[in-house]
Amino acid sequence: MAPGSGSSSSSSSSSPSPQESSPSLPPSYPPIPLSTSIILDKFTPPTPPNDKITLRFTPIGSTPGITPNVLKISGDRTMVVISQFISKKLKTKSVHLYIQNTFEPNPDELVYDLFRLFKTNNELIVSYCLQVAFG
């Protein structure tokens, strides 16, 4: 065995390769640019404010209207509160609520979240009926 070949094999096995010594992120997590990381550090998710949110109620079909048809409610309330309010006004046990005549929100959905996503003219339009109207 030649002395030069034995020493080269021992030196390559003792020194780690550059890829092994530096930690790397998994391929699904690319590095974040510095400008983005600075903004993300300062970002705090919005919390539901205690400010009042304007709701406009519109009946669907032959469902009777309620008064008042415009109401202000705290943003940290859930849709259950609105459902109970309309049920009480209509003197019925159940009512179906729709946001902009499109979908029926979950009962535990916050009014603030729906308002933030689906507001029209700075108010949330909530349609209601006694039977299922859409779907």
Note the pLDDT tens digit of each residue in 21-70. Answer: 556 655 666 777 777 777 766 665 565 567 899 999 999 988 999 999 99
CATH 3.10.20.90 for domain 52-129 = yes
pLDDT value at 12 more than 70: no
**Cβ-based neighbours of 87, under 8 Å, separated by 6 or more:** 93, 94, 95
Cα separation of 123 and 115, whole Å? 7
- Give the pLDDT mean for 69-95: 93
CB atoms within 10 A of CB 53: 23
How much is the CA Rg of the chain, to the nearest whole Å? 30
Q: Give the range among 17-26, 28-37, 83-92, 118-127 with minimum mean pLDDT.
A: 17-26
| Amino acid identity at 44 | T
Domain ranges of the chain: 52-129
- Side by side, which strands form the sheet with 124-129? 70-74, 52-59, 124-129, 96-99
pLDDT of residue 65: 92
* DSSP conformational letter for 131: S
